[in-house]
Amino acid sequence: MAVGLYLDVHVDHAIAAQLRLRNVDVITAQEDGADTLPDDRLLERASQLGRPLMTHDIRFCAMGEIWQRAGRAFCGLIFGHLMIVSIGQCVKDLEIIAKATDSGDWQSIVMRLPL
């Protein structure tokens, strides 16, 4: 059981680097060539890949909740506000999420960090 994560352009590169050191499967929007996509298309892209999207951008939370109410499926959204959760805590929480869940657990879920 493991889920790969998709990191938004707003997520610090240190988070991706630390997750990779912990053998977590991570793709960044930049690596995927999706760093200029609008937010809705980025969430769709992550969902196409079966990966929850991790972001620090609060606008994604509102969009995810609108999609939930509308019954529009997506493969999860993880939000961590850097005024509330440190980079180190993000890494720890994302490692737990990646190693203890799979993509099926994330169907149209919006989760806020810290856990």
The whole-number pLDDT of residue 1 equals 79
- Residue 19 banded pLDDT, cuts 50, 70, 90: very high
The per-residue pLDDT for range 26-64, each reduced to its tens digit, is 999 999 999 999 999 999 999 999 999 999 999 999 999
Assess contact for 37 and 86: CB atoms under 8 A.
no
The whole-number pLDDT of residue 104 equals 92
Specify the pTM: 0.95
* Of 76, 88, 75, the residue nearest 112 (C-alpha): 76
Q: Specify the residue for token string 């991790």.
A: 54
* Of 95, 102, 60, 96, the residue nearest 78 (C-alpha): 60
Number of domains in the chain: 1
Range of the domain at 77: 5-112
CA distance readout (Å), 59 to 21, 56, 107: 29, 9, 19
How far apart CA 36 and CA 113 sit, in angstroms, is 25
